[in-house]
Every structure is written in structure tokens, then in C-alpha cells.
Amino acid sequence: MAFLSDSAKAPRAASGGAAVPSSWQVWRYRLKVASREPTTLIGVLTALLFTYLIVVPIISIVLDSVRVQFGHERRLGKDFGDLTLYYLDRTFMSPVSVDLFWRPLFNTLSVAVGAILLSLLIGTILAWLISRTDMFGRRWFATALIVPYMLPAWTFALAWTTLSKNRTVGGQPGWFEALGWAPPDWVAYGRFPITIILALHYAPFVILLFGSALRRFDSQLEDSARILGAKRYQVAMQIILPLMRPALMSSMILIFAKCLGEFGVPYVLGLPVKFEVLSTSLFRSIASRQTGVAGVVAASIMLIGIITLMIDARLVREARRFVTIGSKGSMNRQSRLGKLRLPATGFAATIFMLSVGLPLLTLFLSTVMKLPAQFTLDNFTLDYWIGQDLHTVALQTGVLLSPDLWAAAKNTLMIVGLASLASGILGLLVGYVVIRTPVRVLSVYLRQVTFLPYLVPGIAFAAAYLSLFAVPRGPMPALYGTVTILALALMADQMPYASRAGISAMTQLGKDPEEAAQIAGAGWFRRMMSIVIPIQKGSLVTGVLLPFISGIKGLSLFVILAVPSTDVLTTYSLRLVDYHYTQAANAVVLIIAAIAYLGTLAAQKLTKTNLAEGLGS
Amino acid sequence: MPTINLRGAQKNYGVNSANAVSNLDLEIRDGEFMCLLGPSGCGKTTTLRMIAGLENLSAGEIRIGDRVVDSIFDGVFVPPEKREMGLVFQSYALWPHLTIERNTDFGLRLRKLPKAEREARVEKVMQALDIAKYRDRYPSQLSGGQQQRVALARMLAVNPGVLLLDEPLSNLDARLRLEMRAELKRLHKEFKTTIVFVTHDQWEAMTLATTIAVMNEGTLQQMGTPNDIYDRPANRFVAEFVGSPPINILSFDKKAKSDVAKEAEAYLSNRYPGLLGIGSVGIRPEALSYATRKEDVPPGSFSGKMVVTGILPTGGSWILELKSDNHTLFLTTHALPRLELGEKVRFCAPPEALHVFDKDGQRIAEADKLLRSTKLN
């Protein structure tokens, strides 16, 4: 033991007979110190829990991809569970691989790249207008332009179909069609609308990240260049842009990672023209019980996700090198727009209308009008909300009177509520253990394992859960179709945010208040109840509320794991879409959007935090 | 409270890292006001935290009276909440969600005292520290000095046998600091608690402590009364750390020997031929005097010629900077120096003002006997 080397050398005249302790004495002492408080025990228990809930499912689905699945024993001439390369071959090399993997991959990449470019274009301009110019209504726009991110992405997808649906799918005509212009397929479905919608949905990322980088940018750097004779565009190209690069890269990568796991939008808009991305391909493999192939696709999605976010982590680390130089002299100087002031405001307003106003208005109108795009008084109705005895095959009442909605709402509240409550509390506990435990390995492991789901897109994570919990294993019964699996998956999926919130809260708290209580004579439990939790009340509320909001609007986890009896609001509305109950579906989506929006506002009010910090939830 | 005893106490954070505290023997007796003094990073706070039980030992043991509270050999570790001590943190660590009264009351509630007694005791310490009028406020509504009083009150309320203070005055402004020092001294008398006080401020240590323990790089350098520390520093580190302006050091090391050091060497070997193995000599600035004429130099004192290069008034006293070819001396005087810059003067020091250290920087005890017994002839 290194810590004894000095005492061995040092003169020990006064230390009455102290000799070097034997190693078992050292271990006994350490054990005593470590087990004195439940911190380490809790740490070990949570570490085990998250290994089971996060690491094991991921391993399980990776194993699925290289092992013979049920039903393929005869074809492959091997026993169930034997190692095989069949699924890898089928997904990557066989004639069907184009449909299973390569085209979806290409589509995913092309949609993501398109969405990134478009959102960068819109986002950087808006960020600059909001943070560095004298555009009208900057403050209002600063909040308003973030709203698209608070709404579920497929809100826009549904609005888009409502507007531009054509005869490729049945049901009520779209608004444009009703007005006499039938949009061609490429406008109505597939790559084009998906790209636009994702771009509008994720532009807030750019506005937030790029905007905060712009605000932190030191105007003196700009001034120095100007004094040395640089022209405006030279300053922009040679000074501002290079310094903004990390923020831009970071938002690009975040958007990419988000697009990778996006399910709702491509599902609604891609299906009619068989436009598949990786997430829908995965969904189809699972729906058609192709477990092995699903494993391969899910593992591929995870791999791409992990690589992307590793690149991001590296970029962030590199960015820190020169961000820290950004001195205190930072002044938020505004450029005068002059003649462009009005057009600039118009641009921001247009984007707001396109990304918030139009979709929400469309959805809302569609739920109160019998025939699309006919603005006569007798065409308006509240039947879709509160009607009774309607002449339809199913859903003979307005959606608000339908027991299915309330069942779904109840499920949502229960599942999402339970999961977010659990993740909030566990997040705080993890934070506590990570900061306090004397066992370093435990701290590092907990920090990393709870971060892992962040690297894995929700739909792949759900597939992993399915792979592990669909059949009974050991003492664990089969969980598929239960509320439990949904709650567990959601909780695990939210742990990155919850544990990050917990860790940062505990770091901020420091250990002094707790040690003071310890000195005053308070044991561990007492300190938790009267000191730590009361002080951390605020962050505990955020740690519960943020996962709750993101769970309410989340779709990709549920779409894989939910069955009709465990419908939540999102899957319920998706089911309504599938049955072409467009108005009811839109109404449900509006309800979700309202909850998500109000919840976010409440969370911000309650905790006085900025949305930028909750980014990515 | 019985005596607190640290034996061979050692602390390091993680394997392979340097010792924050190594092989520390320390005895704190009942009723003592002990100051742990040293530069930042010397291990004084770690020592305090080990006594409190907030850090566990890497080696050695701690006893309170006959009771072992921390020992690897015995496999004993008594957690802080069972040691019945008080600790005031540098940051005060008031609980932000509790009022001043509840902060003060916290420890008493834990001890499950009857309500009437709790109220009486809270009232008493809040009165003693003059914070009763803030009882319903929250810590964030108080100034630094008031927070500091609450932190003290909170610990005094439970009437601990030992009160540990971790640089409690360092966040206060100069005036408040002076007031709180007097306050602490008064509390020490009134409550009769043992106090262990960590500080890097020598004035604080000198004015407050009954015993000072000087630490450096995790080891104890010297323990003694404030006068001991100042008048008989055990080694060069203590000599140089305590005192302001710092002690003048004349190094006898061959490479760095200045002309003044050579004179000192000649002086000592002439008058005290038995004194060998000298590494350096220290003279405190206030022990030095100066003379403009040779006949004014007190006979038998160590003296030499130098030039006045600086006269720095400090309000009530003056610091003179004297230079020879390759040495600078500082001298403190309380009488207005009637000197010009560039004027030639002689510095003089009586033999008993010379602190003689050996080549390892340890005080040569024999030298004291020689130097301090000889009367000037």
C-alpha cells in the first residue's frame, strides 16, 4: 500500500508502538469506513439495477443479431441460440439487404443531411437576428421560435398530411385537394416533407446553441479586426465563423443523432410511398417477427448513434480549448438592421407561422370541420371532440367522450408519471452516490452506465427491451404487453438526463451543508431527509418534470413496446392515424402538444432554468 | 473534554499521491485554544477534518481520552456524528432552507432535548452572539459577518466539548475580523470549550492561541506557545513563516554566501569558537537597530556597514531597506528615522537576537545557551 511508504521511513518515536498494519487490517478498516453509510450500498444496488436495465438489453439485442432465432432452426440447420452469420448476411449482403438496410440507410442519411442543412440555414439567421440585431420583437421571438421543439415532431407530419394528402391513400381528401390542386406524391409524402418537417422541428437546436455561442462571443474580438482594417464580411468569415464552428458542429451532430432515431414523422409521411428510413425498417422487422434482422438493424442504429455522439464529445472537448479564451469583455452589441429591419422581422414571423402557427391551426381546424377547406358555417362542428352517436363504424363518439382516450390518458399518466418519478429520484440518488462515494470505480461506472441510453436512439433501445423482456428469463416473467416494460424502458431511457441533473445538483450543493449536519450529530438518513432532499427540491422537481414532458410526447419507445391494452396517448393517436380517423388523431395530438408545451413552460417557471440546458430531452 | 491525541496520523488521497498529512503527533489538552498554522496546502484543514471524523486516516490513530476513535489497527472508525464535536466551516455551510433559528436548533432537535430546554439554549447562544433579531430570516438574507455568527451559534448551541474552526474569519473584512477575534476569545472563556482553530494568518494565531502548531507540507514543524514560536523558532521554515516583515536570513551555504553572511560567520567564529556546523543565521527586523556613527554601535553586537535604499512608513513604524553589495536587510524601527536615501549606516544586532540554524535548517539549541547567556562586554 503506497500510503504507508512514508510512515515506514519516518521516525516514529512518539507513535506508541505503531507498526505497519497488515493488509487485512487495512481492508477491514476500509470496509468499515465504506459500509458505515449506505452510500456505497445504494451505489452498488443502483449500479446493478442499471446494468440490468441498460447494459443487459443492449447486449441481448446484439447477441440476437448473431444467434439463431426461434423458427429459423430448420432453415439454418442449427439449434436455437447457436451462433450464426445468417442475419448479418441477410441484412448487409443478400438481395433483400437493399430493402432492409441499404436504402433505409441512404434515406436516413439523405433526410438527415437535408434537415441539417436547412435547419442550419434557418437557424443561424434566426439566431443572429435574435441575439445580435435590433429586429422587432426579439424577446418574443426568442421564446416563440423554440416552441416547435416543445411539440412532438409528428404533430407537423399530421398537419402536413391533413393539408396535402392525395389519392395515393384513401380517406378524407387533403385541403389542397379539396381546393382543387392535388399535390404530387413527392410533395405529399416521402423525402421532401420529412426533410422539411425535421428541419423546422430541429431548427430550435441551432437557434439555442448557436445563439448562446453568439451571445457569449466577445465583441472586442470583432472590434480588433475592424480596427486593423477588416471589412464586415471579412470579420464574419475570418473571425466569427471559425469561432462559431464548435457550436455549429455540435448542433449539426445533435440533429443528426435525433434524426437517426426519429420514427413518427417518417412513419406518417413515408409509409404511403414506401419511403423507409432505418427506424421504420427496424419497426417493420420487429412487426414481422424478424428478430435476428431487427437485432442487426438496431445494433447498426446504435453503432451510428454512438459514433456520432463520440465525435460530438470530442468536438466539445476541442471547442473548450478556445472558448475559455473568450474573455469577460463580452458585450452584446447589436447590429442595426436599418432598412432590413422590417423584412427580417417578416422572415422570423414567417418561420414561426410555418413551424408553429400553420400546423397547429391546420390540426385544430381539421378537428372542427366536417369537410376539409370549406369555410362555411354549417361545415363547422364539435362532433369530433364531443359528438355522440356518430355514423361511423367505430369511434361513434367525439374523442373526448371516447373511453379509449381516457384509458390512454390514464395509461400515459401512470406509465410516464411512474417512470419519470422513478428516474427523477434515481437520478438524484445516482448524483449523490457519484459525488459522495469513496469508491471511485463505482462513481465512474454509474456515471457512464446511466449516460449510455443517450447514445442509443429510443427505437433501438425499445427493440433491445423487446429482445430481453419478450420471453421469460430466469425469475423474470415475460413483460411484453405489460405496463411494467413500458415504465422500465422509459425510465432507463430518461436516466441520462435525470442522472446528469442529479450529478450537477449535487456538485453545486457541495459537501459542506451535509458535513455540518453530520457534525451536528445527524446520521445518514436524517441528513438525506432534512438537508439534502429539501435543498434539492427544485432539481428533483425538474428531474421528474423534464422526463415527464419528454415521455408524454415520446413515440419511438412506445410504438415498439405498447400493445392496445397499454396504449398511451401517442400510440393511441398513431393507431387512429392507421385507421384513418384523421380528426380524432389530430385532436389527440393537439392534446399531447398542449400538455408538452404547458409542461415545459411550467418547468421553466418553476425552476427558473433556461430551455437550452434541458436540450435533448 | 479529555485530551485529543493524534499519533502518527497520516492521510493521503488515493494511492500514489503525496501525503496531505504525514506522521503527525499532536496533543490537544482540555481548555486549550490551539491554532494550526501554516501556508495553504500544508495539511492543517485535513488535520482538522481528521479530528472531526470527516476524513478517515490512512495510517496512525486518533484517541479522545482513552477512547480510540480512528485506527486501522483496531479497525475502529467513529463517524463524525458520534464524536460530539462542533465544526465551523470556512464557507459557514449554513443550511439555506432553514431559518436562523432552525439552523441553530438543528443539533438540539437531534439530541431530542425537551422543547423548553431547547428554546432556552437557542435563546442563550443567539443572545450571546447577537443574532436573536434575525431568528426568522434565512441565511441568504444575512451578511457575511452575521452568517459567521450563526455558524458559530449553531455549533455552540449543542455545547460541544471541542470546537473546531476552519479559517472561519478569512471571508470577513478587516474590521469584522478584529471584532470576531475578540468575540472568539471571549467565547473561549465563557463556554470553556477546547478550541482548535485553523488559519494561515499568523496574527490571528498569535493573538488567539494558547498553543500554536505550525505545519508545512503535511508535517508538524513546531508546537508551542505563541512566544515560543516567535522567539525560538524550531527551524528555518517556522522562523521565516512567522513574523512580518519576514526574518532576515543569512545563509552560510558556500554557493550563496553574501558579504553580510561572511561578516556573521567571522563574528560568530571569533566570539563563539565552539559553535560549529552552522547553516544559516536569522535576525528579526525588529531586533535590528542602526547607527550612523561607529561609536554608537553597542559593544559586542554583530554589526556591519550598509546603505539605506528604502524608507517605508507603515504608520507608527518604519521599515528600512538596507543594501550591501550583494545582500538586502530589512529593519523595523519605531522612531522616525532621520536618514537620507543613499546614506551609509551600520546595522547592529545583540548576540541574543541571532537565531542559529544547522545545515538542515534545524535550530541549534546549544547556540541559544551560548548567545543568550553572554552579557555584552
* From A15, A519, A531, residue closest to B25, measured CB to CB: A15
Q: Which of residues 215-254 of B touch A (CB under 8 A)?
A: none
Q: Of A311-320, A502-511, B134-143, which gets the smallest average pLDDT? A: A311-320
Task: With beta carbons less than 8 A apart as the criterion, state whether B92 and B150 touch.
Answer: yes
The verdict on A520 touching B (C-beta cutoff 8 Å) is yes
Which distant-in-sequence residues (6+ apart) come within 8 Å of A181 by Cβ? none
**Contacts of residue B81 in chain A, CB cutoff 8 Å?**
518-523
The verdict on A531 touching B (C-beta cutoff 8 Å) is yes
pLDDT 10s digits, B211-238:
999 999 999 999 999 999 999 999 999 9
**What is the reported pLDDT for A585?**
86
pLDDT 10s digits, B96-114:
888 999 999 998 988 888 9
A-interface mutation test, from B12, B48, B73, most A Cβ less than 10 A away = B73
State the sign of the Cα–Cα–Cα–Cα dihedral B341, B345, B347, B348. negative
Which distant-in-sequence residues (6+ apart) come within 8 Å of A179 by Cβ? A373
Residue with cell 434565512: B138
Enter the C-alpha cell of residue A604: 421553466
Q: Is A10 helix (H, G, I), strand (E, B) or coil?
A: coil
pLDDT at residue A472 above 80? yes
**What is the reported pLDDT for A33?**
78
In whole angstroms, how far apart are CA A40 and each of A43, A242, B297? 5, 46, 71
Q: Which of residues 97-156 of B touch A (CB under 8 A)?
A: 97, 106-107, 110-111, 154-155
* Beta bridge partners of residue B88, listed in sequence order: B165
pLDDT at residue B263 above 80? yes
Task: With beta carbons less than 8 A apart as the criterion, state whether B93 and B52 touch.
Answer: no
Number of Cβ pairs < 8 A linking chain A and chain B: 123
Enter the C-alpha cell of residue A41: 450500498
Closest of A495, A489, A465 to residue A46, by C-alpha: A495
**Contacts of residue B25 in chain A, CB cutoff 8 Å?**
14-15
Chain-centre distance of CA A105, in angstroms? Answer: 21
More confident residue, A488 or B17: A488
**Contacts of residue A440 in chain B, CB cutoff 8 Å?**
14
Kindly state the average pLDDT of the residues A522-532.
89
Task: With beta carbons less than 8 A apart as the criterion, state whether B260 and B328 touch.
Answer: no
pLDDT 10s digits, A2-43:
333 333 333 333 344 446 778 888 888 888 877 777 888 899
pLDDT at residue A327 above 60? no
> Nearest C-alpha of chain A: how many angstroms from B46?
14
DSSP string, A495-512: HHHHHHHHHHHHHHH-SH
Which distant-in-sequence residues (6+ apart) come within 8 Å of A413 by Cβ? none
> Nearest C-alpha of chain A: how many angstroms from B86?
6
**Contacts of residue A515 in chain B, CB cutoff 8 Å?**
54, 80, 87, 89, 93
Q: What is the dihedral of CA A244, A250, A256, A259, to 10 degrees?
A: -100
> Nearest C-alpha of chain A: how many angstroms from B338?
49
Enter the C-alpha cell of residue A248: 455549429
State the sign of the Cα–Cα–Cα–Cα dihedral A76, A79, A84, A90. positive
pLDDT 10s digits, A372-417:
767 777 777 777 777 777 666 666 777 777 888 888 888 888 888 8
Alpha-carbon span B355 to B360, nearest angstrom:
14
β-pairing, B33-37 vs B194-199, is: parallel
Task: With beta carbons less than 8 A apart as the criterion, state whether B23 and A6 touch.
Answer: yes
Q: What is the dihedral of CA B366, B371, B375, B377, to 10 degrees?
A: 120
In whole angstroms, how far apart are CA A21 and each of A277, B59, B74? 64, 8, 10
**Contacts of residue A36 in chain B, CB cutoff 8 Å?**
77, 79
The verdict on B58 touching A (C-beta cutoff 8 Å) is yes
**Contacts of residue A18 in chain B, CB cutoff 8 Å?**
7-8, 59-61, 73
Task: With beta carbons less than 8 A apart as the criterion, state whether B348 and B224 touch.
Answer: no
In whole angstroms, how far apart are CA A249 and each of A128, A311, A321, B262, B288? 16, 10, 15, 68, 67
User: B213: which DSSP letter?
Assistant: E
Q: Is B55 helix (H, G, I), strand (E, B) or coil?
A: coil
Q: Which run of H or of E encompasses A553?
A: helix A537-553
**What is the reported pLDDT for A76?**
76
Measured between CA atoms, the residue of chain B closest to residue A9 is B23
The verdict on A538 touching B (C-beta cutoff 8 Å) is no
Task: With beta carbons less than 8 A apart as the criterion, state whether B370 and B272 touch.
Answer: yes
Q: Of A209-213, A431-435, A461-465, which gets the smallest average pLDDT? A: A209-213
A523: confidence class by pLDDT, cuts 50, 70, 90: confident
Alpha-carbon span A99 to B90, nearest angstrom:
66
pLDDT at residue A560 above 80? yes
Alpha-carbon span A43 to A64, nearest angstrom:
30
Alpha-carbon span B285 to A596, nearest angstrom:
73
User: A479: which DSSP letter?
Assistant: -
Kindly state the average pLDDT of the residues A158-175.
81
Surface-to-core class of residue B17, CB atoms within 10 Å of its CB (0-12 exposed, 13-18 middle, 19+ buried)? exposed
**What is the reported pLDDT for A241?**
79
β-pairing, B85-88 vs B162-166, is: parallel
pLDDT at residue B75 above 80? yes
pLDDT 10s digits, B31-68:
999 999 999 889 999 999 999 988 888 888 999 988 99
In this complex, do A516 and B154 lie within 8 Å of one another by their Cβ atoms?
A: yes
Kindly state the average pLDDT of the residues A240-264.
83
- In terms of DSSP H, where are the helices of A217-290? 219-227, 232-235, 241-261, 264-270, 278-287
**What is the reported pLDDT for A9?**
36
Task: With beta carbons less than 8 A apart as the criterion, state whether B348 and B301 touch.
Answer: yes
β-pairing, B4-12 vs B59-64, is: antiparallel
User: A356: which DSSP letter?
Assistant: I
In this complex, do A10 and B22 lie within 8 Å of one another by their Cβ atoms?
A: yes
Task: With beta carbons less than 8 A apart as the criterion, state whether A159 and A204 touch.
Answer: no
> Nearest C-alpha of chain B: how many angstroms from A525?
12
More confident residue, B162 or A82: B162
Alpha-carbon span B7 to B74, nearest angstrom:
14
**What is the reported pLDDT for A4?**
36
Q: What is the dihedral of CA A181, A182, A188, A189, to 10 degrees?
A: -170
> Nearest C-alpha of chain A: how many angstroms from B43?
15
* Beta bridge partners of residue B59, listed in sequence order: B10
* Beta bridge partners of residue B163, listed in sequence order: B86, B195
Within a 10 A sphere around the Cβ of A124, how many other Cβ atoms?
21
A616: confidence class by pLDDT, cuts 50, 70, 90: very low
pLDDT 10s digits, A329-348:
455 567 777 788 889 999 99
> Nearest C-alpha of chain A: how many angstroms from B161?
12
**Contacts of residue A16 in chain B, CB cutoff 8 Å?**
7
DSSP string, B332-351: EESSPP---TT-EEEEEE-G
Q: Which of residues 66-95 of B touch A (CB under 8 A)?
A: 71-73, 75-77, 79-82, 84-87, 89, 91, 93-95
**Contacts of residue A32 in chain B, CB cutoff 8 Å?**
75-77
**Contacts of residue B106 in chain A, CB cutoff 8 Å?**
517, 520, 522, 530
**Contacts of residue A539 in chain B, CB cutoff 8 Å?**
none
**What is the reported pLDDT for A391?**
67
> Is the bond leading into B245 cis (omega within 30 degrees of zero)?
yes
**Contacts of residue A29 in chain B, CB cutoff 8 Å?**
56, 71-72, 75, 77
Chain-centre distance of CA B242, in angstroms? Answer: 8
β-pairing, B248-251 vs B67-71, is: unpaired
pTM of the predicted model as reported, rounded to 2 decimal places:
0.76
The verdict on B360 touching A (C-beta cutoff 8 Å) is no
Alpha-carbon span B60 to A417, nearest angstrom:
51
A-interface mutation test, from B27, B46, B95, B125, most A Cβ less than 10 A away = B95
Q: Is the predicted ipTM greater than 0.85, yes or no? A: no
Surface-to-core class of residue B195, CB atoms within 10 Å of its CB (0-12 exposed, 13-18 middle, 19+ buried)? buried
**What is the reported pLDDT for A608?**
61
Task: With beta carbons less than 8 A apart as the criterion, state whether A297 and A101 touch.
Answer: yes
A439: confidence class by pLDDT, cuts 50, 70, 90: confident
More confident residue, B285 or A176: B285
Alpha-carbon span A136 to A352, nearest angstrom:
14
Angle at A573 between CA A580 and CA A287, to 5 degrees: 85
Q: What is the dihedral of CA A94, A96, A102, A106, to 10 degrees?
A: 160
Closest of A349, A489, A361 to residue A416, by C-alpha: A489
> Nearest C-alpha of chain A: how many angstroms from B22?
7
Enter the C-alpha cell of residue B89: 466551516
Angle at B286 between CA B281 and CA B290, to 5 degrees: 90
